[in-house]
Amino acid sequence: MGKDKLRRFAEIKAFDNVFELDEGKALKGSWTKKHFQNNYPLILELACGKGEYTVNLAQLYPEKNFIGIDYKGNRIWRGAKTAIEENIPNVAFLRIQIESILDYFADQEIAEIWITFPDPQPQISREKKRLTSPRFLDMYKVILQQSGMMHLKTDNDDLHSYTHEKIDELKLKLHIKTEDLYRSDFADEVLSIKTYYEKKYLAHDKNINYLKFSFH
């Protein structure tokens, strides 16, 4: 592991807005009360990477709480440090494997879930690792409130198509579907938030796909 990664791993242990592995389990069912100390809605970004979306959403909506989830601490470091430096109190980060998400959030604790540019896991043998596979969707359904929305932004056309197929198969409610977000009428200030990787895709004229759906 490089020196920069080691430094970042050490540094996030001192951040009061980062919870690693078992640290977050004690907050299950009470994130808003115990950590954020308010009663605002709680929103997750899964596979948040450097946390750009999480931080930008928190800045747009100070009346909501946001948690970015990823396993790579050296990536989370960037978003957590930005939130501290810019004094954004409604942001936290959780370093866990998303497979264990039910250990960290209670039934219907979450108001909304964002999945932004996840690893598409293109191999058929890795379908269960796709963050929109039925295995994961079943988990989200448990922690998401009945009125809660799911969002998927991806540059990967196959993951977009796969997720749309699962929405149909599982008879979920589709609210928005577009294969070219920035040439559609849906690109508002929220959907126009751009991560580092999204900017790279757009520089190569790659279309951005978006799906918004719910379980109820």
Report, as residue numbers or ranges, the catalytic residues: 119
37 sits in the region (left: phi over 0; alpha: psi -120 to 50; else beta) called left
d(CA 137, CA 134): 5
Residue 185's alpha-carbon distances to 52, 57, 64, 176, in angstroms, are 23, 20, 25, 11
* Angle ∠(57,61,67) on CA atoms, nearest 5: 50
d(CA 37, CA 151): 26
Phi/psi for 113 (5° steps) reads -130, 130
Write the DSSP string, 96-124: S-GGGGGGTS-TT-EEEEEEES-----SG
- Report the DSSP beta bridge partners of residue 176: 212
